[in-house]
Structure formats: structure tokens, C-alpha cells
Amino acid sequence: MDLEILISQIRSLDGTLKQDANKAVNRLLAIRNWLIGYYIVEYEQNGADKAKYGDTLLDTLSASLNIKGLSVTNLKLNRLFYIAYPMIRQTLSDEFNKTELRIRETAPDEFEKNNLLVGRLLPGQTEYIDSPVVEKSKIKPNEFSNEAQFAAHIINRLSFSHITLLLPLDDPLKRTFYAIEAIKGTWSVRELKRQINSLLFERSGISKKPEQLLNGLNEKTEKEQQSTFVKDIYTFEFLGLQAKDAIEENDLETALLDHLQNFLLEMGHGFCLEARQKRILIGGEYFFIDMVFYHRVLKCHVLIDLKVGDFTHNNAGQLNTYINYYKKEVQLEGDNAPVGILLVANKNDALVEYAIAGMDEQLFVRKYLLELPDKNEIEKFIKSELKSL
């Protein structure tokens, strides 16, 4: 054996075991969340003191548990996860027996009455009932041949962030379609979200040759990388790691933010750094603001969003959303309206747009322009950084 073979063996071993670890963590997270949903539903139906809590159950439960990642929003998702995929119990039955966890052999009667066993397949069936879109996509035989196999794919090959995008879909057929395509195409979370927003299900339904549409699509879609699979935000919460570490950051963008932070603290009088990659929750979806400062002179939050690439109207819209969120949820009495600064690096040029939403007091605007770093200085800084990096 020479050195090159040794290096190859170690690399192969490291990659294989990392991949197995990623899959194991993701699977355990999905199992935990599904079980939590099961326990909640069981309590809601059979709990001795269920009437005492009523609509406040999840608020009480979250506060009493005080476990990171089990907010009221996440408990609702876990409950919905169980309701949407009760067939997962078939896949996990052996594990429940080993760990002395007991689950009823059938789903609650209420679910059966309301036909909530979604995406259901009969044993030996290779296509979903009443599913012209899925049928035309030519699912490989035996790949999703019954409920148990489909459930196994859900918990083994999709992260919980994938699952949270599927749960709000009211149509069981649509949910099944996107789950299958995400699994077959190894779509990233961002890709799944993009395809849902682009109405792929509806477009497939009206296409004369949906299989051609889907086959061509999967050649262009963004694939999930095993190195990032475990960096799902829910996985990090499950492992008790810092949320900011869950962000897959571009190296150039990270370096720019590091230097920009120092630049603003040195050049902008009154800046106090509150957070990097500040996570906010809007309508059940997480967003991340690159940097959040509080300016002690202006008495307002300063939100900074950096985009390494061409400027788009979506960039401005996103920052405006953050500003409005801070106005409603964070701004305290005596604070001025939050300020948004959008930095966009476009090839060798730097475009700096200040979003001064809601600041209609002329005196404050003048003060704002005096206290914040000069636009030309920031532009010059970005150009210099891009060259050096």
C-alpha cells in the first residue's frame, strides 16, 4: 500500500460515515417530531384533563417543556406531521417494540372518518389512487409500492425542512406528488420550495407529456448535498447547536460580512452589534438577516442585508419585509423606525441602496444621513473588499 491508497481509503471512510451520520440524525429528528405529534393527538382525544387546556394546550406544553426547537409553531408542525403521515407507524413499529414505545395498531377513528390517511397505497399497488399526475410521472415499480415504503422514504430521504414545506399543502395528492419528486430528484429544500411556488403539480397535470417535463426538470434542479443535509435548521435545534451555524454561507459573503462588521463599528458612530444571521419567524417560515445593529444615537435598529450577485427587486422586497417585521414585533416605545441597508455586489461595481421606510420626519432623516457611514465610503469599501477577496 502506498500513501495515495491510504489517503483514498481514509477519505472514503470519512465520507461514508459522515453521510451515514447525517442520515441517522435526520431520521431520528423526523421520528421524534412524528412521535410528538402522535402524543399530542392522543392527548387531545383521550387525555383525562384535556378540557382544562383546550386551545391553550400547545402554549402550555411549549412553556412547560422549555426545550429548544419545541416552540408552539413547531409543536403545531409536529401535530400536522402525524396527521398527514399516520402510515409512518408501519415503518417504525419494530423500533417502537425495541424501545418499549407502544403505538396503537390503527390510526384514531376520527382520522379514518375524515379520510386523513393521505397518499395511501394498497399492498402491491405501484401507483397512487386517482392520481393522473403521479401516474403519468411513471414511478418506478416497487420504489413506492405501498404505504410502508413511501413512509420509509419520507423519514429517510427528506429533511424535516422538506417536510415542513409539504405539510401546508391541503391536497393530499399534491403533497404526495411533491414528496415523490423531491425524493427521486434529491431536491434541496430551496429547490422544493421553488417548484411548489412555480406550480409544478398544476403544470404537470395540464401537460400532454408530464414525464417529459419532469425528466427534463430533474436535470436542472438543485440537488441536496450530503455535506449540508445535517445543517438543516431543525436538525441544529435538535442537536442543541447554535442556530447561526445552521446557515450555509458563501465564503465570499461571509468574509465580506466579517470585514463590513468591523468597518461599521469603526466608521459608524453609535453602532452596537446585536446579531449576525439573525433568525426571525414569519408565518411559520424562518428568515435570516445578515446583520442587525442597534444605533444608540438614532435610537433605531439598523438591518443590513448583503447580496453577492446582481441586484433584483426581490432583494429590496425582502429587506422591506424585515423592516416591517421589526416595526411590528421588535420596535419599542421611544424607538425610531428601523433602517434597512441593502448592499449588492454586482461584478466589479457596488450598488448601495438605503431603504428608509417610514421615516417621514425631516429632522430624523438629516440626523440619519449624518450618523450613518457615507454612501460613497461604503461603496468604496465593497469594491476594495471584492478585489482583495
Instruction: Give the SS3 label for residue 338.
Output: coil
What is the pLDDT, as a whole number, of residue 85? 92
What is the pLDDT, as a whole number, of residue 245? 47
Residues of the chain with pLDDT below 50 are 99-141, 227, 245-249
Domains and CATH numbers, the chain: 3-238 (no CATH), 249-388 (3.40.1350)
Grid cell digits, residue 389: 477577496
* Per-residue pLDDT reduced to its tens digit, 109-119: 443 333 333 33
- Alpha carbons 225 and 140: distance in angstroms, whole number: 23
Handedness of CA 33, 29, 71, 168 (dihedral sign): negative
Cβ contact 367:360 at 8 Å: no
Q: Would you say the pTM of this structure is higher than 0.85?
A: no
In Å, what is the CA distance from 25 to each residue of 32, 107, 190, 234, 368? 11, 26, 20, 11, 47
What is the pLDDT, as a whole number, of residue 95? 58
In Å, what is the CA distance from 99 to each residue of 20, 91, 92, 96, 103? 21, 14, 11, 5, 12
What is the pLDDT, as a whole number, of residue 267? 67
Q: Of 58, 94, 88, nearest to 156 (Cα)?
A: 88
